[in-house]
Amino acid sequence: MEKLLNLISEQVSAAFGAAGFDPACGRVTVSNRPDLCEYQCNGAMPAAKTYHKAPIQIAEAVAAALAGNPAFSEVQAVKPGFLNLRLNPDWLAAYLESMRTAERFGVAADPKAGTVVIDYGGANVAKPLHIGHLRSAIIGESIKRIQHFFGNETIGDTHLGDWGLQMGLVIAALQDRQPELCYFDPDFAGPYPEEAPFTISDLEEIYPAASARSKVDEAFAARAHDATFELQQGRPGYLALWKHIMAVSKADLHKNYGRLGVHFEVWLGESDAQSYIPSMIDRMREMGLLVESEGAQVIEVQEPTDTKEVPPCIIMKSDGATLYATTDLATICQRMETWKPDRILYVVDKRQSLHFEQVFRAARKAALVGPETELRHIGYGTMNGKDGKPFKTRAGGVMRLETLINEITDFVRAKVEENKLVTGADVEDTTAKIALAALKYGDLMNAPTKDYIFDLDRFAAFEGNTGPYILYTIVRIKSILARCGAWEELSIAAPETPEAKDLMLALTRLPDALELAYRDCAPNAICAYIYELAGYANKFYHETRILAEEDKQKQQGYIALIGLTKRVLETCIDLLGFSAPEKM
Ligand code: ARG
């Protein structure tokens, strides 16, 4: 469907043409003086220069050419040469009616849509999921849904950190705890037990202790390094342990991501990229890209236009070990081979931006991707506590994601129970949905790159620019609709009040908000839009007697309007990654 602004711009452009002026002057914008008009066109001002005429004369001629145009109820030429426009209510209703009946509200898919890999989540296996990874999960999930909405095939890959030193640390620590286990016996002929010799709570205790110990105990650190190396070389007992660690961790990650409403199409990790490394390095060498620097093999990525230093991308250390960047490059090979994506989006902490700059440049130099494939790092800022420093537990430690979700849930449940919003079996469902909305909206309303302060009181408030406020607006509409019988087929009617018209005009701005969110990978554009839309919806609801309206035709128009509003709001929060309860 054509966007409303384009449709009315066409009309005004045609009127410029009919009055003998350049149609290009007919561009219409949303009014910056809503008290005077809904839309405006300022094209008479530049036209005045070309045609050596007073702008007001031009504006008057265009206004005359627009007389009787079905799109407008009011066209005014005002000094010095503005055209002030108001939409014809019937025309607006017809426009919204086509939006109501169109697929995806008539928002056009991206004509260049293709296959998009979204690399987000990025949890590290064996380490507890902590809030450092929260934003990646929340923002990445939303960006994925937005990409999908615009017609792309989307593949969310959590890219687990499953091949690093943390594995060696856990293995070395396990060996100290239970040296008798068959995994450490080099002569063991198998098969290894099905059951893991530890639980997730054991793991959660083992890793932090081992990590702390490796910093003070050199011998232990060396053993952990050796274990990592032997694992990577394929020592059977260590591989078997690694599989247990993976299974136990993944089950826990599934649970926590599930509670966050975050779902990955694939659960690949750093380990899955390893088999691509040897041939990739051979190719880089054949292309003459690898140079030696302090014993390591690196690719130079500095460009003459750089204003800052961009250090070379290290591919292999002198001992033959490969690095984080090597794995990311190999992962690009794997993704190109498996999906041939048109775009790979990395939703990762913005402190890794230099890493991605190096990786992207190296990938292009080595032609791992062609020029048609876009590589983009969407770096996000930090979630801070009220002290402005990265969010911590009360004891000052790194907060686990599960703890944070539990805290928010308890806080919201207390509110739900205190205000008797719902009772009985509905309490948990409503609580979970409000809690998720509070957490996600509180994050997504900020541009991804910005740091923000986590403030539970503010995020969970039912008033103001919050997730619960949006849910409340939707639930309120739902409760009216529940008393209206079949509302889905009712048609939008011409607005009778300013509140109805404002709500309708806000609905027509949906495509702009979604396109902005899509183009800039900025879910915050959707938050800003639904906050505005919810405001108009609530005003309309306050000023209009919907259920008590006696004129049935009028009433049906109202119901259709709030029905459309509800569907738009629900679509938008789905793109943000949460949903509304039935009651609250
Ligand atoms: N596991 C990494 C970390 O915790 C994040 C992975 C991000 N994705 C990537 N392709 N490098 O920092």
**DSSP secondary structure code for residue 269 in this structure:** B
Mean residue pLDDT of the chain comes to: 95
Residue 130 DSSP SS3: strand
- From 352, 357, 375, give the residue whose CB has the most ligand 1 atoms within 8 Å, as the site to mutate: 352
Q: Which atom of ligand 1 is the closest one to the Cα of 328?
A: 10
Instruction: Give the model's pLDDT for residue 129.
Output: 79
Dist. CA 410–CA 423, nearest whole Å: 16
Residue 110 has what DSSP assignment?
P
- Among 348, 355, 359, 380, which is best to mutate for testing ligand 1, by the most ligand atoms less than 8 A from CB? 348
- Ligand 1 atom nearest the C-alpha of 355 is 11
CA pair distance 323, 164, nearest whole angstrom: 9
pLDDT at 133 over 90: no
Who lines ligand 1 at CB under 6 A?
119, 122, 124, 159, 161, 328, 346, 348
- The rounded Å distance from CA 525 to ligand 1 centre is 26
With a cut of 90, say whether residue 401 has pLDDT above it: no
* Phi, psi values for residue 348, rounded to 5°: -140, 150
Q: How far is the CA of 310 from the centre of ligand 1 (A)?
A: 20
Identify the band that residue 319 occupies on the pLDDT scale cut at 50, 70 and 90: confident
**Pick from 399, 358, 337: which is nearest to 346 by CA?**
358
Which ligand 1 atom minimizes the distance to the CA of 352? 12
pLDDT tens-digit readout, 529-565: 999 999 999 999 999 999 999 999 999 999 999 999 9
- Among 118, 69, 25, 18, smallest CA distance to 346 is for 118
- Look at residue 128 and tell me whether its pLDDT is greater than 90: no
Q: Which residues have C-beta within 8 Å of that of residue 358, sequence separation ≥ 6?
A: 301, 310, 311, 312, 313, 325
Whether omega before 179 lies within 30 degrees of 0, making that bond cis, reads: no
Q: How much helix, strand and coil, in percent to the nearest 5, is found in the chain?
A: 55, 10, 35
Is residue 505 within 8 A of residue 565, CB to CB? The reply is no
Lateral strand order in the sheet of 313-316: 290-293, 296-299, 313-316
Separation of alpha carbons 557 and 121, rounded Å:
44
What region, left, alpha or beta, does residue 106 occupy, with left being phi > 0 and alpha being psi -120 to 50 degrees? Answer: left
Other CB atoms within 10 A of residue 441 CB: 27
Task: Give the model confidence (pLDDT) of 343-372 as tens digits.
Answer: 999 999 999 999 999 999 999 999 999 999
Examine the pLDDT at 328 and tell me if it is beyond 80.
yes
Backbone CA torsion sign across 205, 350, 152, 438: positive
Ligand 1 centroid vs 109 CA: distance in angstroms? 30
SS3 assignment for 313-368: EEEECCCCCECHHHHHHHHHHHHHHHHCCCEEEEEEEHHHHHHHHHHHHHHHHCCC
Burial class (CB in 10 A: 0-12, 13-18, 19+), 286: exposed
Indicate which residue's Cα is closest to atom 8 of ligand 1: 122
- 250: Cα separation from own chain's centroid: 23
Q: Show the beta-strand stretches assigned E in 440-507.
A: 452-453
pLDDT at 474: 98
Which of the 8 DSSP states describes residue 488? T
Rounded to whole angstroms, the Cα distance separating 174 from 14 reads 77
Exposure class string for 262-283: b at 16+ Cβ within 10 A, else e: bebeebbbbbbbbebbeebbee
Backbone angles phi, psi at 322, to 5 degrees: -100, 165
Q: What does the pLDDT average to over 108-113?
A: 96
Q: What is the residue with the minimal CA distance to atom 5 of ligand 1?
A: 122
pLDDT in tens, 27-72: 999 999 989 999 999 999 999 999 999 999 999 999 999 999 999 9
Indicate if the pLDDT at residue 265 is higher than 90: yes
Q: With 0.85 as the threshold, say if the pTM is over it.
A: yes
* Structural tokens at position 581: 């309860």
3-state SS class at 152: coil
Calculate helix-pair angle for 426-444, 524-543, nearest 10 degrees: 120
Is residue 146 within 8 Å of residue 575, measured between CB atoms? yes
C-alpha 431/C-alpha 407 separation (Å) is 12
pLDDT digits (tens, 9 = 90+) for 136-184: 999 999 999 999 999 999 999 999 999 888 999 999 999 999 999 999 9
- Vertex 141, ends 136 and 144: CA angle to 5°? 120
**What is 391-421 written as a DSSP string?**
---TTSSPPBHHHHHHHHHHHHHHHHHHTT-
